[in-house]
Every structure is written in C-alpha cells, then in structure tokens.
Structure 1
Amino acid sequence: MKKKIYFVAIALGMMAMISCTGSAKKSSTSTTDSTQVADMHTAETSLDYYGEYKGTIPAADCPGIEMTLILNKDNTFTLHSSYIDRNTEFDESGTFSVNGNILTLTEKSGEKSYYKVEEGRVVMLNADKQAVEGALADAYILKQEKVY
C-alpha cells in the first residue's frame, strides 16, 4: 500500500512539473510577443499629472528654494518660489503643454522651462531638456502632493 501511495505521489509531482514547464513556455512566448508591440504610453496619456508638486531645490546664495508648482486641468500653471532664510518670493504663471513625457511651462513673458513627467513627480530639466546629473540630481525633483 505504501508503494502505491509513493508512486502516485511521484506521478502527481511529475505531472505538476510538466504542467508548470508548459505554462512557463507559454508565458515566455507571450512576453516575447508583447515586447514586439510598440509602447505608446506617455505622460500625456497615462499619468495623472494635474495637481500640486513641491520640493526644495539648491540655491547658490541661500539654503535652498522651496517651490510649489500647480498644474491645472485647463493647462494653466502657477509656480511659487520662496527663498529659504530670505524674505524673497516669486510667483509665475502661464500655460503648459505635455509632449511625450516632457512638460513645457510657458510663462506669460514667453520664457520657457522644462520638466520630465514621471509617476508622482516632475524632474526639472535644463534648457536643453536634459536632467541634472551628479550628486545634486535628486534635489531637482518636485513630488506630487495633490492630484486634481
């Protein structure tokens, strides 16, 4: 009786291994097929980027600049900058657009600034639309505080 149970257990184990191997092959085939499809996801179509973003960026002559960026659903923005340990604040406003994952802020004066839109945050870019690199790179990120 013990031998029969032992053989049944081995047979069931082998069937389980064969079925797992078969599903793994199917899974890898479907993964291969899905990688051939172009990924059309962009910030504009996939992310909830409307909302309020906050962060503190480095400054040359003070401990930093506290920034609050608000992106409204009517494609307008406001940007509030407050210099830490100084009595200096600035407010800017205008319109914005998103092309791919690049957010372009256009102030009423016509001046432009760029950000990369990511999940739950925006990363400040330079005039060439490139992220800051090096030790301070993480300091140029504004995190989403509220979703609109």
Structure 2
Amino acid sequence: MKTFSSTHYRFIFILLVGMMACSGNKDQSESSDMAEAVTLSVPDMAHNSRNSLDWFGVYRGTTPCADCEGIETSITLKRDGTFKRSMKYLGKDENSFFDEGEFQWNDEGSKVILPGEAGMRQMYQVGENVLFHLDQEGNRITGDLASMYRLEKNRTDYLLEDKNWILIELRGKAIEKKEEQKAGHILFNMETGMFSGNNTCNNFFGQYELMEANRIKFGQAGSTLMACPDMETERLFMEVLKTADNYSIADGILSLNRAKMAPLARFELSDE
C-alpha cells in the first residue's frame, strides 16, 4: 500500500482549501469537516524523539547472544551526530569490539541508525532514557526475551554535571594553592559519562556512573605523568577517586564521600 509523507498531506489540505474557496458557501460545513480531518492526520514533526527528548548520553545494557552468555553493550550518542560503541561478548576468549563514527536519524526522528562492518547497520528506537535494540527491518523485538533488548541511559544530575568544581579541601584539610601548584579541579561530562580534571599536578580522566541516592561509581582513571614538587596532594586526590562511592551538593559545595563517613574531598563551584 502506498504511503504519503507530511508534504503530501499538506498539499492535499491546500487543494481542499482552494476547492472550498471556489465553491462559495455550498456545503461549507461538510468541506470544513474534511479539511479538519486531513489537518489532524498530518504528523507533528516538531514533537519527536530527536526534538523533544534529551537523547544524548551513554546507554548501557546486556542483550541476548546466539553463541555466548550475552553482549555487554555501551553506546555513547553525542549532540554532534557521532557515536562510540563498545561490545563485550561474555564467555568468549576474543570478546571485545569497539567502533565509532557518525550515526543517522530516520525521517520521523524516532530511531537512530549506527553503521557497522560489511555494510551492516543496527537501528535503535529512542525512548525516554532508553534505546530499544531493533531487528534488521527496524521493528521492536517481541517474545520472551523482548525486555532484554534495551539499553538504559546513564542517570544524569544537572546540579553535578557540566560544571567545573575547584578543590578546596582534601581529607579534612583546606587546600592552600602554592605558587608552583596548579588548581585541583574536576568536571563531569553528562554527554560522554567521562570525568576529567587536574589533581594539582597531572591531568586525569576516566568514566563514571551515577546511581540512585546520589551514589557514584568512578572507573579506573588515567593521567599524565609529570613530576611536581608536591606529589602528596596528587596521591590523596587520586585515592579519593578510587574510594568515593557517593556525593552531596549544598550551597555550591560538592562533597565526595565514602559511605557515611566525613567527606573525603570538597569542591566549590567555579564561576568561570
């Protein structure tokens, strides 16, 4: 059966309006009802997943696998139209796959299309904080395993993320910036799920994940390898990133904590 785009529908509507104008008042009520029906059938392209959802971010989940225990998948969708994808085939020796590139939206703005090897592609339906893994025809997967074909978006916190936090206290001691020392700071990137900053000597970076009740999980951090006069502050800073498991924010102050103990480190929100 032939389908029509929103452009076709609008053309039909304009044609109906012209016919009503030419026919004067004859059957005006009936023509108005027809025009209203056509207008209501035009898709509202301004309210689709692409335009109305905060779809950018990191999605994670484990989908079924035909010859392994499952495919642990992470997909980062960025606002500039690029993606990063990693897949780990659980229970296999050669089990890791990574790619990146540009993704596309379908015409309706409801699905994203990621390219793959040998011309293959994978489509995902974009929902509220979720990506639904679709079949090769772009349809939702049904059956007993349907609920497993979904990737959940990382939690976000607008009070924490995309802000520059300056180190002011470490292990209960105020930080006094020395002339030869860089300012310690940390930033949490909502779009990529990456943390980065400087530990008063070296730049560092890694992945993080937010969970319920202001819990946070820091991944293994990488850093540059410069030598500085005061390496103890750097050591303590990096130790905080290994041990902190929750955070709190109050009056522009971020605290990184371990369980319910005293704050491991405190930061103030930068004005810059």
TM-score (norm 2): 0.39
Cα gap change, 1:44 to 1:64, in 2 (>3 Å): same
Match of 1:103 in 2: 112
Aligned-partner Cα distance in 2 for 1:85–1:107: 22
Match of 1:143 in 2: 152
Gaps of 5+ in 2: 1-39, 156-189, 192-272
Deviations 1:116-146 (A, max 9, x none): 0000000011111101101111111000015
Letter in 2 for 1:97: Q
After TM superposition, the structure 1 = structure 2 runs for residues 109-148 of structure 1, keeping only pairs within 5 Å, are 110-145=119-154, 147-148=190-191
Match of 1:94 in 2: 101
CA RMSD between the two structures: 2.0
Letter in 2 for 1:98: W
Match of 1:81 in 2: 87
Gaps of 5+ in 1: 1-35
Instruction: Verify the 8 A CA contact 1:80 1:90 in the aligned structure 2.
Output: yes
Deviations 1:11-30 (A, max 9, x none): xxxxxxxxxxxxxxxxxxxx
Deviation at 1:111, TM superposition (A): 3.1
Aligned-partner Cα distance in 2 for 1:38–1:82: 39
- Return the structure number with greater helix share: 1
TM-score (norm 1): 0.69
Deviation at 1:85, TM superposition (A): 2.2
Aligned-partner Cα distance in 1 for 2:66–2:138: 21
Cα gap change, 1:59 to 1:74, in 2 (>3 Å): same
Q: Percent identity?
A: 34
Q: After the TM superposition, which parts of structure 1 deviate over 6 Å for at least 4 consecutive aligned residues? A: none
Cα gap change, 1:117 to 1:44, in 2 (>3 Å): same
Question: Secondary structure of the residue that 2:103 maps to in structure 1?
Answer: strand
Instruction: Verify the 8 A CA contact 1:43 1:98 in the aligned structure 2.
Output: no
